Structure 1
Amino acid sequence: MTLTFHWFLPTYGDSRYLVGGGHGTAPAGAVGDRPASLAYLGQIARSAEQLGFVGALTPTGAWCEDAWLTTAMLASNTERLKFLVAFRPGLVSPALAAQMAATFQRHSGQRLLLNVVTGGEDHEQRAYGDFLDKNERYERTAEFLTVVQRLWRGERLDFTGRHVRVAGAELARLPDPVPDVYFGGSSAAGIDVAARHADVYLTWGEPPALVAEKVDRVRRAAAAMGRAPRFGIRLHVISRDRADQAWAEAQRLLDALDTATIERVQQGLSRSGSEGQRRMLALHGGRTENLHIAPNLWAGVGLVRGGAGTALVGSHAELAERIEEYHAAGVTEFVLSGHPHLEEAYWFAEGVLPLLERRGLWRHPGAPRPEPTNSVPFASAR
């Protein structure tokens, strides 16, 4: 199986420095030198498509622009690029979400992917009017996805759960194809939802051995239900011609951070109820020393950003090797980003992807299909 690469749309702003925001951080932390205008996001989207990325993740939260509206307005900027739209179940009804996805799928030319985010921060969920606790949110997510996926199959549905209830729900027009559901969760409850409903299980960028353990847990849980999801990883990247150039860039980003900002963000993230966020914080403990936590894996991003907090840093050849290690651990999809997102997309795609292509691990999604080896009809029957 060839690998799939996605990029990221920074709908909270972009910069030549690390931009805050992410998992449960305050909206005020999400600022950048480059505003998240449609013109700039469209520039990133068009470049990602040209370079060979299959899709682009758009985040969700109080710290960024709305993902549904932004991607719908960007769809006409590209022809092939898919939009991995992050959204939170429970803030809209499952029947409406199923209808929105079907509409998006038709009008975008079958270019919707869905990243379902349960929501790990009580305070942020309450700001949206959601007062369930973490375990209740996972229960609701499971019920929500049950309704959505049954509606996508064309069922007329009556459903009564603890958190979700619909009567006579159905879709007038079904999505074709049904969009893949991407889902991440490191707790037992999260893994159970992923095993039952995810087409792609997403993890944040831990060292390959830890990723392999998590992949194995999800794979076994899904197999018990007769399912076999794919696996993806969310990482930042700093890729250069030489390793010393990449690490110098990482150091430049680190040098620009002030202690007060790091302490403020870390204090906020330490209150997170997310098991995935706890695992991210454990990689660096809020300290600026010893951020090189595994070969070519740097935890500096997580000092000022919630959620995905690690970056692959090194030469193009080194990053290709690390990607092969994650592939050996079971990962086939990579959701990547960099600062700034426009330039780093070119560094990675022009430096790393050709190396993976030569190893038979990647193929540009826009490349023409190879001609059949045997071009003479019935020649093999001689």
Structure 2
Amino acid sequence: MTCDRRGSPMPIELRSRLQIASAPIGDPATVVQRRATSSGNWSVRNSTNVETVLTAAREQEEIGYDGVLVAERSGWPDVYAQSAWVLANTRRLKTVSAHRIGRQSPTTVARLAQTMDMLSGGRFIHHFITGHNEVDQQRDGDFIDKSRRYARANEFLELYVRELTATEPFDFEGEFYRVKGAMSGVGNHSTPYPEISWAGSSPQALEVAAAWADTFSLPATSVADTLEVTSRVRALAESKARTLRFWYNANQIVAETDERARGIAEGIVRELETRADLLRLDIERPESVSRRKIYDRAREGDWVDGSLFLGLARVTGVESVPAFVGSPQTVANAMLEHYRNGVEIFGLDPTAYTQEEFELKRELLTLLRAGAAEIDAERAASVPA
């Protein structure tokens, strides 16, 4: 069992993603076709409305998720507006609100976080990103190259945290930001301030994570690759007298049997390979380090560790997240292997295309919590009295 930032024990944490589209794009007849349409048009999403947001948030809270990722991309609905709706209309659910650094000043963003944190009773988490696609960055006016974006992110977070914690006015002058007499009057509900989440796998990104993040977001990769990254990040954080939690993000394709689930996954790929009209993506080859690694690994084979499916990454350039595939028990076992290795938080795909799949995903959450509790008990029993 892991601990929160105050040292209190924490169980496994399960997060989903807020669905901003009320249904897959178009209305193909079969489940495989509907999945292929959604996967192929990942970067082309519907707009949002009150009913869509509230239905998704309340449903995910009722199923038992601990939080929802509110994702960010140019052309998508505003993250903070959606997060506010979710927090105001749920009681327990957290929002993990993505913020692409560079669009707003650090002090402004810090007070925004504090306000959301205070109004929600501590249910707001900030997930910072630098952007993985130059084309998408430029749509919103950001023309700084990737290496400079990491330098900017480090400076942003330094000033951001200082605004969250300062008790006296302060000045700051860096390469990217300058303030004079800054100090927030909002305060923090969370201790010591709202949780900072971070994503990025390049050497520069790992340094930023070690310095500032409370949670490090991991892409869906093999057990061995995940262990390699978590070991590096832990060592970097320990060198700065810090600790982090790890958040593993994957999709899940579940069915009553492993064979049926694998048939669905492989059928989606076949559908995409014969439907060029579905692949309306920005780029074929990803720019970020983690996405490139997934893409390159997918070209070597569609399956990793038995049940992690990379086929969609191969045909979409990892615009589709790799998926654990199988029965609820098979998928739970695969995910819990990462829990045994120190991953505390798991991102899950909330999409269900049939009522049967909806119930199977509910079963998956139950199995994950029960399995994690067993692992926690085993660990506790092995600790000398």
TM over 0.5: yes
Aligned counterpart, 1:325: 337
Please state if 1:196 is matched with 2:211.
yes
Check the 8 A contact 1:52/1:349 in 2, yes or no: no
SS class of match (1:168): strand
- Residue identity in the other structure for 2:66: V
- Residue identity in the other structure for 1:298: F
Check the 8 A contact 1:13/1:30 in 2, yes or no: no
Aligned pairs for 1:60-71 within 5 A = 60-71=72-83
Find the aligned partners of 1:43 and 1:188 in 2 and give their Cα distance. 40
Shift, 1:345, TM fit: 8.2
Please state if 1:127 is matched with 2:147.
no
Check the 8 A contact 1:198/1:229 in 2, yes or no: yes
Find the aligned partners of 2:356 and 2:125 in 1 and give their Cα distance. 23
Please state if 1:150 is matched with 2:162.
yes
Aligned counterpart, 2:312: 301
Aligned counterpart, 2:112: 100
Shift, 1:277, TM fit: 1.6
**TM-score, structure 1 normalization:** 0.84
Aligned pairs for 1:167-206 within 5 A = 167-177=180-190, 178-206=193-221
More helix by share: 2
In structure 1, the gaps of 5 or more residues are 364-382
Aligned counterpart, 1:276: 290
- Residue identity in the other structure for 2:293: R
Going from structure 1 to structure 2, the CA distance change for 1:120 and 1:31 (only over 3 Å counts) comes to: closer
Going from structure 1 to structure 2, the CA distance change for 1:104 and 1:321 (only over 3 Å counts) comes to: same
Aligned counterpart, 1:378: none
Aligned counterpart, 2:383: none
Check the 8 A contact 1:53/1:81 in 2, yes or no: yes
Aligned counterpart, 2:260: 245
- Residue identity in the other structure for 2:12: L
Aligned counterpart, 1:380: none
User: Among the aligned pairs, what percent are the same residue?
Assistant: 26
Find the aligned partners of 1:21 and 1:57 in 2 and give their Cα distance. 21
Going from structure 1 to structure 2, the CA distance change for 1:189 and 1:347 (only over 3 Å counts) comes to: farther
- Residue identity in the other structure for 2:217: L
Check the 8 A contact 1:7/1:345 in 2, yes or no: no
Find the aligned partners of 1:305 and 1:108 in 2 and give their Cα distance. 37
Going from structure 1 to structure 2, the CA distance change for 1:343 and 1:144 (only over 3 Å counts) comes to: farther
SS class of match (1:283): helix
SS class of match (1:361): helix
SS class of match (1:152): helix
- More moved, 77-86 vs 156-165: 156-165
Deviations 1:297-323 (A, max 9, x none): 011332337456200111111112111
SS class of match (1:182): strand
Deviations 1:56-89 (A, max 9, x none): 0011011421211112123222111010000111
Check the 8 A contact 2:100/2:131 in 1, yes or no: yes
Aligned counterpart, 1:291: 302
Please state if 1:337 is matched with 2:346.
no
Find the aligned partners of 1:280 and 1:105 in 2 and give their Cα distance. 34
Find the aligned partners of 2:64 and 2:118 in 1 and give their Cα distance. 23
Aligned counterpart, 2:35: 17
Find the aligned partners of 2:82 and 2:203 in 1 and give their Cα distance. 33
SS class of match (1:135): helix
Aligned counterpart, 1:50: 62
Structure 2 residue corresponding to 1:260, chosen from 257, 276, 279: 276
- Residue identity in the other structure for 1:169: A
Please state if 1:118 is matched with 2:118.
no
Check the 8 A contact 1:5/1:55 in 2, yes or no: yes
Check the 8 A contact 2:171/2:180 in 1, yes or no: yes
- Residue identity in the other structure for 2:13: T
Find the aligned partners of 1:309 and 1:63 in 2 and give their Cα distance. 20
Aligned counterpart, 1:214: 229
- More moved, 319-328 vs 187-196: 319-328
Aligned counterpart, 1:6: 15
Greater relative contact order: 1 or 2 (C-alpha under 8 angstroms, separation 6 or more)? 1
Find the aligned partners of 1:43 and 1:344 in 2 and give their Cα distance. 19
Find the aligned partners of 1:99 and 1:21 in 2 and give their Cα distance. 37
Shift, 1:220, TM fit: 0.6
Shift, 1:252, TM fit: 3.9
Find the aligned partners of 1:82 and 1:142 in 2 and give their Cα distance. 25
Shift, 1:200, TM fit: 0.5
Deviations 1:200-253 (A, max 9, x none): 111110011100100001011111111110111110011233212322332343
SS class of match (1:237): strand
Find the aligned partners of 1:292 and 1:237 in 2 and give their Cα distance. 14
Going from structure 1 to structure 2, the CA distance change for 1:338 and 1:281 (only over 3 Å counts) comes to: farther
Find the aligned partners of 1:283 and 1:12 in 2 and give their Cα distance. 30
Check the 8 A contact 1:280/1:309 in 2, yes or no: no
Check the 8 A contact 2:20/2:45 in 1, yes or no: no
Find the aligned partners of 2:309 and 2:87 in 1 and give their Cα distance. 33
Aligned pairs for 1:23-38 within 5 A = 29-31=43-45, 36-38=48-50
Going from structure 1 to structure 2, the CA distance change for 1:264 and 1:307 (only over 3 Å counts) comes to: closer
**TM-score, structure 2 normalization:** 0.83
Check the 8 A contact 1:8/1:57 in 2, yes or no: yes
Find the aligned partners of 1:305 and 1:347 in 2 and give their Cα distance. 30
Going from structure 1 to structure 2, the CA distance change for 1:253 and 1:47 (only over 3 Å counts) comes to: same
Check the 8 A contact 1:183/1:198 in 2, yes or no: yes
Find the aligned partners of 2:22 and 2:293 in 1 and give their Cα distance. 26
